[in-house]
Amino acid sequence: MSGQLEFWGAVIAMAAITYLTRALPFLLSSRNRLMRRLTEGSSMAALGPALLAGIAGAVIVPDMLALQGGAEWLPYAGGLLATALAARRLGNAGLAVIAGVVVYGALLALAGAQA
């Protein structure tokens, strides 16, 4: 009985979290007066880019610390460079990430083909 209760509790918690991640952007849109007050001229405006950088660091840094050879660094360096250049040039984080993933994948495929 306890196992079923834990299972359904986890299902309900996941459903609530999924709903909130989908609904909050609409509830806190730029038309919302509270959201405008929080973001205009405050540190909340930097929250989105800071979260992206934090997640990227948490994912990329451990992998890079495990690298041993110079050739293994090439896909990471190329992907990061492509992402930085695309972000600077295009001003769109989504397109920058796509560009970085494409370059990373291409360099990884080339490195795998040479091995």
pLDDT at residue number 35: 65
pLDDT at residue number 36: 67
Q: How many domains does the chain have?
A: 1
Residue 27: inside a domain, yes or no?
yes
Q: With beta carbons less than 8 A apart as the criterion, state whether 79 and 101 touch.
A: yes
Provide the 8-state DSSP code for 69: S
Q: Which residues of 83-102 are buried (b: 16+ CB within 10 A; e: fewer)?
A: beebbeeeeeeeebbebbee
Comparing 104 with 63, the larger pLDDT belongs to 104
Q: What is the pLDDT of residues 35-89, one digit of tens each?
A: 666 666 666 667 777 887 888 888 888 888 888 777 788 888 899 999 999 999 9
Q: With beta carbons less than 8 A apart as the criterion, state whether 95 and 86 touch.
A: yes
pLDDT at residue number 39: 61
Residue 8: inside a domain, yes or no?
yes
On the question of pLDDT at 32 being above 60, the answer is yes
Q: Which domain holds residue 20?
A: 1-31
